[in-house]
Amino acid sequence: MNKDFSKQLGSMFAYMQDLVDTLLQGVFKSTSGNYKNNILSNIKKTGEAYYDTYNEIKKGKNKS
């Protein structure tokens, strides 16, 4: 029974992390326009690069 609970708990954490990541990705994608502030522009580009890489990793794991 402990093993089943552990798997359920781990699965729940994975889904929670995926939800948070999806929400943050939406925030990064929804902020459109050119920023005059170089710091905000860099944060947006970094976030987009992170989520592009994250999605590629997820696609690779789903294939196996």
pLDDT per residue as tens digits for the range 43-61: 778 888 888 888 888 888 7
**DSSP character for 63?**
H
Q: Which residue has the tokens 């502030």?
A: 37
CA 26, CA 61: separation in Å to the nearest integer? Answer: 22
Task: Give tens-digit pLDDT for 7-18.
Answer: 888 888 888 988
> For the chain, what is the domain count?
1
- Parent domain of 50: 2-63
Q: How far apart are CA 16 and CA 22, in angstroms?
A: 10
